[in-house]
Every structure is written in C-alpha cells, then in structure tokens.
Structure 1
C-alpha cells in the first residue's frame, strides 16, 4: 500500500523498539510488533519529526491523503499505537497529546543505517565509538559549525565552559559533523570515568586495541597514531588536566593527521591549543512586555519546553506561562543541565510550582537521566565534581565570593575578599585560577570585565559552612564597599542615557540590595546599614524604584539612635521616605509628616540648597492633595531661596514648580514665563531633580507647558510639545518621569479631540503604573480610559469607571486631576440621563475650586454647568446664559483662549437657537479669528461649522 507518510531508508530506534519504515517493520527487542497499517503510518509521520508538534490536520492529510476521515478515527488509531508501544506503562513515554494542537513524539530517537547521523564504522578503524548524538540539539548549531571549522584549521581545540553547560553534547555533535571527513575514524574518550591520572594513556591505548606492557603507554600510543587520520575527542579533562595536556601536546607534534577536540572546565594551556569558550544558552531578558513568541525564540526556553514535553508534561505556552519559563531559565543562567533537570519536574509539579521551588531554593538534588554520567545526574553532583578539583585556597576565596549577587568587579573583589590572612596578590592568583576553571564566569560590561558566580554555583557555595566571625567580616566589607561605591557614583545615575551605560550600575545595585538585607537582618550591622540606606535612597529615586526607597528609608529611620535623630542622615532619609510614599501611596499623612520633619531638620541643620530640595517635594505633596494655595506658597519660597544660589538644577526646579502652581491657579502668562525659564538651556549640571524629587523637573515643565499652550490658543504647538515631553521621558527610561509626562500629555490630546493618541498614551500609562506600583497614576489612567469610553458611546461603563477611580483617588488622597475627571464624569452622567446629579457634581466642584485654589478650571466648570442646565426639562436659559457670560469673562482674564472659544461656541449656539444669528456670529467670529493653527482640532471645527450656519 502507498502512503503519504514519510518513508525513511534508515532504521530508527527508540526505547526497546526499532523501526525500518521502508520495510514497514517495527520490532521490540528483536521481535516483530503487530501493528495496524494506519497506526504504523501514524508512527512513521510522528517519528520523522521528534519533539515537534504535528497537527491533527497534518496527520489526517498525510495518513489518509485521498479520504475524508473524522477525528474519531485518528484518535482510535493513536490509541492503538499507544497500546502497542506500551505508552504510559512503567514510566515509558512515546506520544504526547497537546490539546487543540496535535500530537508529539517525545521519546529519544536514534537513527541507524547508511544515511544516519551515527558514526560509520570504517573497515580500517574498528575502534570507532562515537556516542549517539541527541535527536535534536537546541541552540548549538553555530557552535558546532565554528568548532568544526576551527578544528579543521588548527587540529587542536579545547571546549571550555562551566559544568553542565553542554560541552560533551557539543563535542559529540562536532564528531558527527566531521565523521565523514575522518572516514569514521573518531575515538571518544570519556576521561570522567578515570580517577587516577596515571591511567589516562593506558585507557586510551586499550581503547585502540594496543597491548600495554609497561607503566608508560605513551610511546606505543604515539607510534600507533603517527600515520593515522583520526579525530580524538577527549571528554572531561579538568581533573587530569596535567597528564592530558602533556599527552595532547605530544600527539599533536608527532601525529600530523590526528585532530584533538578536548572538553574541560579549564584550558589545557599547551602550545598550539585553540580555546573555544562555550557559553550558556541564551535566555530572555527580564523585561516587561515579553510574549510567548518572543520567549520561545531563545534556545534556553526552547530546550526547557522540549525536555518538559518529552518528560510527559502538557504545555501549551501562553504569554503568562512564557514569563514563568523565562524566569526559570534566567534563574538557571541558561545552563543546559540545570534546565533539563528543572524541565523534568514540570510533569509532576507543574510549571507554577517548579518556578516556586526554584525561587525558594535552587534544588540541587533533582535527578536527571539514569544514563547520564554520575557527575551529571544532579546539579549537586556536578558541583561536587567541580569543587573537588579546587585547592583549599581557591575554596576559601570562592566561599567569600558568594557574598556577591550577580556581577561584580575586580576592584570589589580586592576590597571585600582580601583580609589580614589573605593578601591582594593571593586573591588575584586565586581569581585567575577560578576563572580558568570555569567556576567564576566573566563578561565585559562597558569598558571593564565583570565577574559572577552562576546562581547554581552560588547556591552550592552558600551551603558550605564557614566561621560566623569570618562571614560577618566579609559581609561588613561588602556593605562598606557598596556604600562607598554609591557615594562616588550616585550622582551619575540620572545622566545614564543608554542601556549600555546603565548595565554596570544595575549589576551593582543587586549587591546594594543584598548588603541592605544583611545590615538590617538578625546578625547585621545597622550603623553601616543606615549609611548605606542614605547613599542608596537617591539612587532608588533616580531608578524609579520607589517601593525599595520607601522600604529601606523607613528601616533606617527606625534604626537611628537618639544621637542620630535630628541629624543630616535623618533629614535625607525622611525626605526619601516622604517622596516615595507620596508617589506610591498618594498624599497620606505619613508622607506629609516625613517631608515636614525633613524640612524642619533642613531649617535647623541644613543649608539653603537642602531647603530648596525639600520645598520641591512639599510643593508636589500639596498639589497632589488638592491644597493648591499652600502649594503656591511653597513654590514661591523655593523660587526666592533658589534665586540666592548659583545652582542651575535648583533654579530650574524652582521655575518648574512655580510654573505648574501658577498654571493651575489660572495665571497662564506668568506660568508660561516660569515654565520656559525651567527649560532654558543653562549650564549643564551632573545632577537632575530625580535624585531628590523622584522625577525630572524639566520633563514636568515641558508637559505642563503643553497644556498651557493649548489653553492660550496654540493647539498644534501644544500637541508637539506634549509629544516631545513623552519622548524625552521615554528616552530617560525613568518610569515615574514617564508617567508624569503621559498624564499631562493625555489631557492635551483629549482637549484637542485626538482620542486615538490619547488612548495610546493611556495604555502606556496604565502599563507603566501597574509594573512600578504607582497606584495614583494607575487610577488616573483608568479614569482617562473611562472618559474615552464615554466619548465612544459607552457612557454607563465610563461613569462606573470614573466613579470608582475618583473614589479611590479621594481616599489616597490624590486630587491633582479631580476637577478634570469630575468634568468628564458630569458629561457621562448627562449622557445616561442623570442631569441633576451632574449639575450637583459641577456645583460641588465649583466650591472646591474656590476653596483649594485651582481656578484654572473655573471657566470650563461654568460652561459645563450652562450646558447641563439647558438639558433640563424646564431649562433656565437665563441662568445658562449668565454662566456662559461669566465663563467668557473668566477665560479672558486668564488669557485662556481655548476655554473662551468653547464658551463662545456654546453661547453662539444658544443665541442662534433664539434667532440671534447676527449677534451669535459677532460674538464667535473674533474669538475664532484669534486662532492661527489647529484647524483640525475638535473645537475649531465646531466653531467653523457654527459660523457657516446660514443667516
């Protein structure tokens, strides 16, 4: 019978089975297996693509090419195939069902015959013993090609890498890649099985069938190899490195056709040796927005998924699950052995629990394949093997290095690891050796080489007990070093514009966190911890790590003794605590108390610059809590003090906060002067406001200037300015600054009627606020989203969303945008017929504006009230007209042409409805004529349409 299934000429083996497809023969331990024709066809198709999902549609079309068959028949024959194979019995796994996707052949497959990947046994070299290569090797194709080329060119290459990284797997794959070039003459020597270095030469000679009749088999071995073309793969050389190095050098010199591929955790260091460092598998970065497709493009995650499926797990990777897989692979540093061991746990524990177990503690004792060498059955065994190869001095240095988290510099090593009993020269020598033995990994970051212990290695080393006094001494030096580092580099943080510039700083901040944990832990040193927290606070603010700034500032304040209270350390800590609380939890009393305490200390112990730094946050606090009058007073005080200083950052800050305060009071001309002064290109300073205000003040100034421009009648300039503010904030990659820019930019696009741009910015705001725990900005973003819903016709959902957001913002409290959101809510209420409630809300807002001082919104509130009055069943046109006239007068006094145009449009429409067409035109035309840009914006289009009304 002819079938559409793939027909292979070679035999295929899996478990105890052997399949010869072209003979349609399946045997088990040599005995034929009875199997139906369709079931056999299915097996051929599935086994032709091991570890790959074959869809049901594909199976049906290939096994039943000319017949319409229902899925029930497919399930029946798959069940028959599973039964014949004993799938699921005694732990055997061959075929896995992936619901909704298809079937996958998950057993390890090896091919035999003329076209196989296994090494052909040459007639003149009967000793060929190259192990079967993996059915599918993940992420190493480039390594195999590069190694093959280098081996052909230089004859002697050593693959160097950490334990479990996959050196043996790659070496075997290279052997298969070159097997034809050597006519099958490939000898694989597993030196990991030898405990005595003296047996290396003897073992190799015996594998070649040579008679060994003396203690030194080297001459016989060399004589045999002298005229042979052979590829020798010397696997796992590190524990017998001296003997192997001498032997390999002798063979390369004496046997010109012999090529040697060695694997070792350290180089052999002999002449003519080429080093090929095998890195771990690439894994996804820890970044937001990763999707399943993006995650599965990395070889580490591909390996994890394949091995999990092969072990019987059912994985249908969603975006959420992909993030878990990425996290696991990062935790395991892309080490192939560690990934395979973890993947085997998914079938029994599930993906979530496997990730949780790794987060709690790297499980070094998880079992791997039964056929693996003893040193690779568990991570513990692999690391025991590596640790056993170290000298006592190297072990001491390694144990001290475990204090570091992530990457660290050589300068840090010399400061932290060196002690009275371990001088710098000794430490340098030990570091060189640990790097050479692949125990310590290296990576160039910026202009310097960074070092690190893989997480698996660090977990292993931390389990080795050392003297408590020694451990404490190392921890003290570690914390003290990173305190000095913060004090020296903290000023640089806000000016690091690119990822390349930030990478070394982000690597070091992990050590700051670890040092803080120790300092404030059970046996820590709180004195060092306080200083470290003071140095870390501005860096946490500059990085938008607000919850961490809050946590460590608060811990340090509680640890202050009586002598330290009221000092500069407390001043800095209280300021950092107040700012971080303000931006993460809104304007609660704790934030105000911290900021006021810090300002009081600045008045007693600080200088003028300290006071400016604190007046900025105090101004922001009162703006956010809705006390705009008090905020303006703080802004004016800040401006007065900054004027006495020659500090460009302080001066820019003073202009920015005074500008926003004047803007919200409705003094638009004066506000614009201050905002433009804040953006003026003065002398460049290394500092920015992020180190004490928590965000970049110039970005805020530009975002507020965008609103100011719209209100003054320049809509095109306003939108360009708003976009520029967002772009500059995004370029900083500072989350709080970006959130602030987005908030104010959104209002500009909502005012101009560009709902599509507003929606895009709203989505960005919500995503960033959720990721960085900025609750007030999240609520504002949801409020804006509800306003868009109202504009798009879903008023009921919009009203519900706005009510919820406003309720939570009031509770925070965060009142900076309450009036603006109330205007949106009033419009939504009117749209669902609750006009009376809408009017009551506007009246309440009018009262609050008069009390709080944000008079900017008065004209728009009055205009909105007039619009609502006209919607009542018994509308009061006279009251509505009075509201509109008052709105016109107020907008003109503010210089708010945008508010004036809206009020004029509504008044002209009212007058037109009562037959006063000429008067309406006379009112609207001069207001409309003031605008020389923005013809496509919503309000100008409405005015133009009204002016076109026939007389």
Structure 2
C-alpha cells in the first residue's frame, strides 16, 4: 500500500472548512469545495504537518509521484488553493509562502477521528461540467437572488451587461447552487471559442452527455433532451446572437422540462425570455473625506481589497488608503474585471500610485477608443495599462497564449511558445495567474489555463499587431496534431478521445485560421485528420463532415496529401453513412480511402475503411459483396497485429456468415468477438471503427440462437444486448440492439408484451436522434405487432409506409423481410392475388441478394400464399413448402424449420394427409431441447396433438423422442 493509503482516517476543522483525509474532500459548511486531485493532496500534506515548513520538493513528490514536473505546477496549485480558501478579507490566513523554500499551514486546527466527524460525502459525482469557482463572488447576493427568482418562475433568463461586469461569474455561481434541482444535471455551453454559428450544435453536443447521430444535429439534440430535466448555461452569446437564439428556442420548444440561463451583451429577443441587466458594482460617492469605514461597505471596494490582499501579504484597507481605493473603483466604473486587473498591481505601486496611474492611462487612451462605449474604454484602458506594466518577457508570454481559442495545459503552452533565453514560460504563466491576467481551472487531471474573453480579444489584437500570430498558429497546429494523434493511438483510446473534447475549441480556432484565404491550409488538413477520431468517438458527426469537407477541398497533389485524403475520406464516409444513410457519397468516400490505403501500403487504414464498407454493404443488403469484403479483411488482419482488429473482423465476419446461413460458425465467431470486448472495455469502437462491434456481435449471437431453435438463449442474448447498449448511452447502439434483437426476435417468438416495449423504446430513440433508417424500421415493426394482435387495417398501412421509406433509403436487409410480412397479412385479409405479388418479390429479391438467412422463410411465405390462392391441390405451394423445410434442415435453421413444418402440416391436413402432417411436425418438434414454452413451439405442439387425435386416439400420447413441454 502507498503512503497515501496508509494515512490515518481523520477530519481536520479550520475556519469554516472540514477536510477529510480518507475521503479526500473539502467541505465549507455543507458545500463541497471542488478542488482537483493535486490541490487536495497538497492541502492534506500541509494540514497534516500544520505549522511546519513543507519544502517545494516534498510537495511536488506528493502531488506528482514518479513524475517530473516543473515547479510552476506547484505554484499554480497553491494559488488555486489560496483562492478556494480565501473567504475572508484577509489573505493567506491558511497558507503562507517561504520564498524559495516551501509552504506552511498556519491556521488553528481541530482534529476529529473520522468515525466521529459526521462527514457526509456525496454518494456520486454531480451531473455537471461547471468549472470550480476559486474566488468569492463579492457584492452580488441581491443579483443572485433576483436571477434565481426569474429562473424559478420562467424557463429562459438572460443576464445582460457590458464586458467584464461579471455575467459569467453570476451565471456559474447560480448554476452551482441549483445543481440539486435538476435531475439530469447542469451543463455549461461556452460559445466564446467559436466564430461560426453553424458550429453551435456541435459545441452543445460536445458539452452534454449525449450522442447525436443525425444530419440535423440541432434537431437530434432537441430530441435527445426531450425527456430530460436539466439547466443549460449558455455563456458568451453576443457574437452569435441570432444563431444562439435559434438554437435555444428549438431546445426549449423540444422539452418542457429544460431551462436555459444565458450571458450576453444583448438579449436574445425570443419568446419567454426574461432579461436581467447586471449593473456594475456599487462604488463610493465623491466626497471630501473618506475613511475605511465609509467605503468598506461598498461592493466595488470590497472586491478591490480582497483581490489586492490575495497578492500582497498583510494588505488592509486603512483611513490612509481608503480614498484612493474609492477613486480607483469609481475610475473603473465599478466594473469587476477592471477592478480585478487593477488590484493585481497594488504590489508594484501601492494604492495611491495605482490611482494616479489609472487616471493617466485612461486619459492617454481616451481618444483612441472614442468609438466604444464608456465602460468598454475603461476595460481597454485597464488592460492596456496592466499590459504596459508587465516585463517584456511577461508581455511576450501573454501575447503568445492569445493563440489559444480555449483552455490549455501548461505543457501545451511550453510547447507552443517559442523559447527565448532566460524565459521560464511555466513560471511566467503562474505569475500571470497571480496578476489576474490568466484564469486557471484545476481538475483531477491537472490545471488548464484560460484567458478571460475580454482579455482574449485584447491579447489577440496585440499578437496580430506584432505580426506573431501566424508563427504561433503553425506551432499550435503542430502541437494539437501531435497531441490528438497520441490520444488516438494510446492504450486508453476511448477515455482519452472523450477527454480530448476540451481541446476542440483550440482545434476550431486553428482550423478557422488555417482554411482562411492566404493562411496554411495544409496545416489545417493535418489537424483535421488528427481530430477525426475525437469527432467520431464523441458523435460530433456533423462537425466531422464540415471540417473533413473543407480539408478534402484543400488537399494538394502530394504524397503526404494522399495519406491525409485516405484518413479524411474514411471519416467522411463513416460520418455520412450514419447521418445521411447508404448514399453514393458514403460508398465512394470509403472506396477511395481503401484505394489510397492499398497504394500507400497502410494496412491499418485499409482495414478501418474496409470494415466501414462491409457495414455499409450489410445495411444495403449486398451480402455477396459483404462476404467478399470480409475475406479481404481477413487477409489484412493476418498482418495487422492488433487484437482489437482481429475481434472486430470476427464481428463483421460473423454477421456475413450469418447472412449466408452458416449459423454455427457465425455464432462461435460472434462469441469470440464479444468475449474480447467484454474483457477489453477500453477498446475503441466508434472512434476508430465507426460502430460498437460488441453490440454488433451480440446481435449476431441472438439471431443465430433463434435460427438454430435455441429460443431460451435467444431471449437471454437479446436482453444482454439491450442492457449493454443502454449502458453505453449511444443512440445508434441502442437502436441496433433493439432492431436486430428486441423488435424482430421478440416478434418472431410472438412475445408480444416484450416486443411492444422494445418497439416503443426503439421508435423513441430513433425519433429523438433523427436516425431516419431506424425510424422507418420501427414503423414496420409496429405494423407487424398490430398484425399479430389482429389489427389488420392499421398494420397494413404501417407496413406499406415502412416499405416505401426503407426502399428509398436503400435499406434492403430490413425492407425485404417486411415484404414477406405484408404478403402474410394480405393472405389473412383474403387478398391472395395481392399477396402473391409481395411474396414473389420477397423471394426474388432474397435470391438476388444471396440472403440465404431469409430463404427458408421467403419460400414458406410464397408457398402459403400459393396455397391460399390455388387451394390444397397446388403443386407449386407444396414444392415451395417442402423446399423451405429442406433448406432449413440443410442450414440447421430449426427456427425456420418449425415455421415451415407448421405451414406444410396445415397444407397436408387440408389434403386429408393427417398421418404425413403428423410425421412432419413430429420430426421437427423432436429436435427441440429448449424453448418449449415459446408460443411457436406450443402452437405447433397443439396442432400435432390434434392431428394425432384425428388419426388414432391411441397415438395421441406425447412422442418418446420429444420432451413434454409441461414438464
């Protein structure tokens, strides 16, 4: 066990806080203080040795065991801790710094044994993606209550105000206090990193725990949230106000249990919007004499003092500096951002000097910003003033991080910022955090830095002014490309690709730059190719299509471009297949990727593209082509040397063999594939291969069991596939399991209650996510269910609607079976002439596509229709029915054989050949070892008993070769 595991279980009480060493969590009252894992380890180490100096080296070893990190990481974590603990006006009352040596915890402590602590940690993590709020919200209690009342009474509240007034801070604080009120969570959607309104749905999807596979992503999101109870916080909407308004309107219309809280410089101006205009912090009035008591009650001064105290140990508001503090806050119009930026320089100039310099700087910049509102000029002045006070090296690093559109890691910053002599990038970043020019979000995996939106625009302007943007953009493009490639190729692909969503703001920023006229399109091509697995794994398929299209258009005729084209075409083909369907665009893209992979000798990518193409062919019903494609894949896998590829090949091969009616072999391969995925849950499915092959293999298992007549195992396999699919939360996987297993197989077993539940869920998920092919299939299954319940007229209407739509979508492997179901319905409705057209087409298309798995049933249905049309003397009917049984026996398809035997027995009975009819049924029923309570078995058994009673009462006993279903 590690030293961490051996810690005594104790709870430390200090100030308003409780810290548990065993649960590794900090509480302030009843509120969990959200700290990252590194920060909590540092705090525990300091508290356990309270009063002692703990060296920097020791703290680094505690927080980053067996890992080399620069010392600036520790500085950032301690800064985050101080902010989280800084609830009083005096700073550093808990942790003090011994320059160059280490840190010391100095607050009084009370220690409780863990069992007596009364310490209740939340049982499960909260459903949200809110960043930790590391600073106290000052002077906003009334505003918080006012916005909360509006949000309680309504569904859409917009917090409106000028830049820097604290809209985001209010929204995040309110969202955190309301976490318990929304069953499905509170989710932050930051629009500040994108400039194109078309990407709004993609940003929403990447922020929410949903999968959307639809050509109309916004409709898919709205459908996925239809039955959810959650709060959406849209931040920085002003630059995309029309697009944001349209998106929010559609989401709110789609569900009556969703609420939205937005921040913007202007209202959305849509129905139901309640606007709260956030004013600046209240500032002291002009007065001849102002003492500390006179100004300390004003929120603007409170904020100034608190932030200054966080920088300068021992800083206090006194009668001597109170008037100058008030002057600073008035001069900055009570704008919280401007006050925070300014207060960070108290250490350099004191309060009096700071007041004078702010007045000078504002006067200096007034003329150059006359076109902007007064508060905008104030913030620009404060930022410009603060920027000029930085050292040259600090200015350089601050400009460089302006290239990031979103948050970034310390490693990324060090990699992107060009090295200069005597510049320690990591240390300067930590200093910029302390000076409130950078924010830092500390999570379990480490710290991520970010520029505030208003500071981001200012710094980017400086970067462009210095003609440094292009060089840094090229470096960031290279950094992101390498980072994303490692995510896709690492040992925990699924986890890392999902976490890589947080890099997409930076990816979008660089791609917008790269594909702009006169920039670096080839850098954009390389980055797009590297980002493909992230988009696929996170179901951002529409965004994937947008960027891969731009990248393909920008390709140049070079050897390197061929490799990029190979990757881009494979991704484009898969994304289009899931969103638009089995179109020529999808097929051509996948074939082009295969062609390029072959030319380049890249077996890995050829394998990926060929797997995608086989899936395409399965869905299109081209089983001959799919089997040939599977054979080619097998030849590739022999040299690929990747176990996951072997398992996925077994998955698609099992399906290809199933469609060829080689059930035993298909079942064994599907079992082997599923066993691999069961024991390798981190194997990437959709991100690399376009489909969840674990679910695919289970569907083959369930269908093979039914065809083999193992009805009990069929039910268990169906339920297992449904359960795993629901656990993934992936709509395509859920629909796949419900279509292949639940809806179709429960109907085949005539388990109508289970079938009804599966069809309802299938239709709901397909509609909610706008997966049109599955919506069409659900209509057909619903029609079949109504037929089995005796509701002929509505059943026919739904079956015909499904056939029409599935035919247009070219989903033959679903539409052909429905043709047979329609023929059965028409016979029951005494329209055998019409039924003959449907059954003949079903049989013809079954043979044309080599769909051997359907052949016994297509022959049976055609035979039944001919018998209804021509009567018991129809030789054609008997030939088809007997051939159906022969094919079933040859395939080992006991499920189909049971149906065909029942049909032939009924046909022979009408010819008064009861003895032969009895023998036909007896042979088939005697083969069953399970499923004896299934409706098809019991109905056939009842028919056999009736035939025996007619033939001879003495022969009415159960066959010795067949188990009695009553046992």
Query: Do Structure 1 and Structure 2 share a fold, with TM-score over 0.5?
Result: yes
For residues 885 and 519 of structure 1, what CA distance do their matches in structure 2 show? 67
Is contact 1:743-1:765 (8 Å) kept?
yes
1:519 and 2:514 matched: yes
Measure how far apart 1:708 and its partner are.
Answer: 0.7
Matches within 5 A, 1:635-646: 635-646=630-641
Measure how far apart 1:844 and its partner are.
Answer: 0.9
For residues 227 and 257 of structure 2, what CA distance do their matches in structure 1 show? 9
CA distance 1:879–1:278, change in 2 (3 Å): closer
Q: Partner of 2:834 in structure 1? A: 837
CA distance 1:765–1:379, change in 2 (3 Å): farther
CA distance 1:779–1:471, change in 2 (3 Å): farther
Matches within 5 A, 1:457-476: 466-467=464-465, 469-476=467-474
Is contact 2:440-2:447 (8 Å) kept?
no
1:743 and 2:739 matched: yes
1:622 and 2:617 matched: yes
Is contact 1:544-1:694 (8 Å) kept?
no
**After superposition, what is the alpha-carbon deviation per residue over 1:482-533, rounded to whole angstroms, capped at 9, x for unaligned?**
1111111113497536xxx776333223433343333223454211111112
Q: Partner of 2:410 in structure 1? A: 410
Is contact 1:162-1:439 (8 Å) kept?
no
Q: Where does structure 1 lack aligned partners over 5 or more consecutive residues?
A: 1-139, 175-237, 240-262, 267-276, 302-316, 333-337, 355-365
Matches within 5 A, 1:283-432: 284-285=186-187, 286-287=208-209, 290=225, 294-295=229-230, 320-321=252-253, 328-329=260-261, 332=263, 345=267, 349-351=270-272, 367-368=277-278, 381-387=335-341, 391-392=386-387, 393=390, 401=401, 403-416=403-416, 418-419=417-418, 425-426=424-425, 428-432=427-431
CA distance 1:605–1:753, change in 2 (3 Å): same
Q: Partner of 2:554 in structure 1? A: 559
Measure how far apart 1:896 and its partner are.
Answer: 0.5
Q: Partner of 1:486 in structure 2? A: 484
**Aligned partner of 1:714 among 706, 710, 715:** 710
For residues 758 and 546 of structure 2, what CA distance do their matches in structure 1 show? 30
Is contact 1:584-1:776 (8 Å) kept?
no
For residues 841 and 938 of structure 2, what CA distance do their matches in structure 1 show? 31
1:168 and 2:89 matched: no
Q: Where does structure 2 lack aligned partners over 5 or more consecutive residues?
A: 1-27, 35-83, 94-130, 146-163, 180-185, 188-207, 211-223, 235-248, 285-298, 301-329, 344-382, 951-967
Is contact 1:165-1:280 (8 Å) kept?
no
**Aligned partner of 2:801 among 798, 801, 804:** 804
Is contact 1:585-1:776 (8 Å) kept?
no
Is contact 2:407-2:503 (8 Å) kept?
yes
Q: Partner of 2:445 in structure 1? A: 447
CA distance 1:943–1:622, change in 2 (3 Å): same
Measure how far apart 1:600 and its partner are.
Answer: 1.9
Measure how far apart 1:824 and its partner are.
Answer: 2.9
**Aligned partner of 1:908 among 905, 908, 929:** 905
For residues 839 and 931 of structure 1, what CA distance do their matches in structure 2 show? 32
**SS of the residue 1:521 aligns to:** coil
Is contact 2:228-2:255 (8 Å) kept?
no
Is contact 1:397-1:427 (8 Å) kept?
no
Measure how far apart 1:692 and its partner are.
Answer: 3.9
**After superposition, what is the alpha-carbon deviation per residue over 1:836-889, rounded to whole angstroms, capped at 9, x for unaligned?**
333211211211111111121111112222333444496765443332212111
Is contact 2:280-2:334 (8 Å) kept?
no
Q: Partner of 1:434 in structure 2? A: 433
For residues 450 and 323 of structure 1, what CA distance do their matches in structure 2 show? 34
CA distance 1:765–1:518, change in 2 (3 Å): farther
Is contact 1:564-1:570 (8 Å) kept?
no
Matches within 5 A, 1:725-764: 725-746=721-742, 747-764=744-761
Measure how far apart 1:678 and its partner are.
Answer: 3.1
Measure how far apart 1:769 and its partner are.
Answer: 4.2
Give the superposed CA RMSD: 4.8
Matches within 5 A, 1:65-144: none
CA distance 1:155–1:349, change in 2 (3 Å): closer
For residues 327 and 524 of structure 1, what CA distance do their matches in structure 2 show? 41
For residues 604 and 493 of structure 2, what CA distance do their matches in structure 1 show? 20
Is contact 1:702-1:721 (8 Å) kept?
yes
Is contact 2:574-2:690 (8 Å) kept?
yes
Q: Partner of 2:218 in structure 1? A: none
**Aligned partner of 2:525 among 518, 523, 530:** 530
For residues 630 and 530 of structure 1, what CA distance do their matches in structure 2 show? 32
Count of aligned positions:
671
Is contact 1:435-1:441 (8 Å) kept?
no
Q: Partner of 1:181 in structure 2? A: none
**After superposition, what is the alpha-carbon deviation per residue over 1:510-569, rounded to whole angstroms, capped at 9, x for unaligned?**
433343333223454211111112212233333333333333223222211122487322
CA distance 1:293–1:744, change in 2 (3 Å): closer
Is contact 1:612-1:642 (8 Å) kept?
yes
Is contact 1:619-1:634 (8 Å) kept?
yes
Measure how far apart 1:901 and its partner are.
Answer: 0.4
**SS of the residue 1:817 aligns to:** helix
Is contact 2:637-2:649 (8 Å) kept?
yes
1:857 and 2:789 matched: no
CA distance 1:293–1:602, change in 2 (3 Å): closer
Tell me which structure has the larger Cα radius of gyration. Answer: 1
Is contact 2:780-2:803 (8 Å) kept?
yes
**SS of the residue 2:928 aligns to:** coil
CA distance 1:164–1:609, change in 2 (3 Å): closer
**Aligned partner of 1:813 among 806, 810, 814:** 810
**SS of the residue 1:469 aligns to:** coil
**After superposition, what is the alpha-carbon deviation per residue over 1:240-286, rounded to whole angstroms, capped at 9, x for unaligned?**
xxxxxxxxxxxxxxxxxxxxxxx9x99xxxxxxxxxx9995556233
